[in-house]
Every structure is written in C-alpha cells, then in structure tokens.
Amino acid sequence: MQVAANTVVSFHYVLTDAANGETVDSSRERGEALTILAGRGQLIPGVEKGLEGKVVGDRFVLVITPEDGYGHRNEEAVQRLSKKFFPNADRLREGDAVVLQTKYGPQQVRVVKVGGSVVDVDTNHPLAGVTLNFDIEITDVRAATEEELAHGHAHGPGGHHHH
C-alpha cells in the first residue's frame, strides 16, 4: 500500500539542519516511529508531500526549504517584554530558550537581549528560516480505521493515545 490521504503511515526520521548538519530531532533516539494520519496537515507541507506514494521499506532524504517547512523568520516577531513576565529574570542570558505562559498557552521564545527592566525575545518558531534535511524510513502503511478518520488522527503505538 502506498502513502496517500487517509492512510496511516509510520516512519522513522532524523531531522538535521542542512546548513550545519546538526541533528535537531530524531525518532530513532526516542526508539519509536512517528505515526500519523496522512493528508490532514499534521506535518509540515514538505514532509506531507514527500511521503506521498511511498511504501514500507522506502528510505529517502527530503530537503525542505522554509516555504515548505516552518516558514520564514519574521523580524517583527521580536518583542520587548517587562522582566516581571520571567520567573528567573536575573539569570537570563542571550540565546536562552524560555517558555512563557501566554493567553494562547505556553510558547517557547528565545532571549535576544536582556536590559535593565526589559527583555527582548524572539517568538519565531526555532526552525523558521531553516532549510531542513529529513532522513526518512517508512516502517508501516495501512488504511485508516473509521474511528481514526472520524477523529482526524492516528491511534495506536506512535499515534494518539486515548485515556
């Protein structure tokens, strides 16, 4: 069976930054393949497209530009915030990753500059503007169940778990 919309695909991946070869994320390190319902926008567009038509055992590298990945950096996404929003304001250093509680939920930001009473943070996705290499190996492809189609996600190992 080939990967197509409404199939459930499992795959291992090693994600590296194309510019410096550093590993950003790896399902192999976690020891569990990622399982998703294809065609529902659960992956960045470049990976969703790159999986189409593949079968179990296929191994390939996708080179994904920001357009098909996490988007371009938005320089207006740098914000100046009062230090009172930061639990450890006095220990903050440039380059630190900090999770802030916002009205939209927790958001990871990167510290750009620490001033006397304010902190400048970059709210871009950490992979915005980055070209990525996805080394992918397909480990399973199957038809989605009625329940998975209704829920809009994959169930079982590597997928969504209900409690």
Q: How far is the CB of 112 from Zn ion (least distance, A)?
A: 39
The torsion region of residue 105 among left (phi > 0), alpha (psi -120 to 50) and beta comes to: left
* Piece in contact with Zn ion (CB under 5 A), picked from 4-12, 45-53, 55-63, 153-161: 153-161
Q: How many CA atoms lie within 13 A of 46 on its CB side?
A: 19
Q: How far is the CB of 154 from Zn ion (least distance, A)?
A: 8
Q: How far is the CB of 35 from Zn ion (least distance, A)?
A: 12
Q: HEC profile for the chain?
A: CCCCCCEEEEEEEEEEECCCCCEEEEHHHHCCCEEEECCCCCCCHHHHHHHCCCCCCCEEEEEECHHHCCCCCCHHHEEEEEHHHCCCHHHCCCCCEEEEEECCEEEEEEEEEECCCEEEEECCCCCCCCCEEEEEEEEEEEECCHHHHHHCCCECCCCECCC
Binding mask 100-139 for Zn ion (x = CB under 5 A): ----------------------------------------
- Binding flag, residue 151, Zn ion (CB under 5 A): yes
Closest residue to Zn ion, Cβ-based?
A: 151
- Binding flag, residue 40, Zn ion (CB under 5 A): no
Closer Cβ to Zn ion, 9 or 114, answer by number? 9
Closer Cβ to Zn ion, 73 or 160, answer by number? 160
Closer Cβ to Zn ion, 7 or 133, answer by number? 7
Closer Cβ to Zn ion, 83 or 160, answer by number? 160
Summarize as ranges the residues that interact with Zn ion (CB under 5 A).
151, 160
